[in-house]
Structure 1
Amino acid sequence: MSFTDKAKMKAQEMSGMAKERIGDVTDNERLRAEGASEQSAARARQAGQDVKQAGRDVKDAFEK
Structure 2
Amino acid sequence: MANKTYDVAIIGCGSSGIAAGIELLSQSNLNFIILEARNRVGGRAYTDQHSLNFPFDLGAEWIHEYDSNN
TM-score by length of 2: 0.31
The answer to which structure has the higher helix fraction is 1
TM-score by length of 1: 0.33
Higher relative contact order (CA 8 A, sep 6+): 1
The answer to which structure has the higher strand fraction is 2
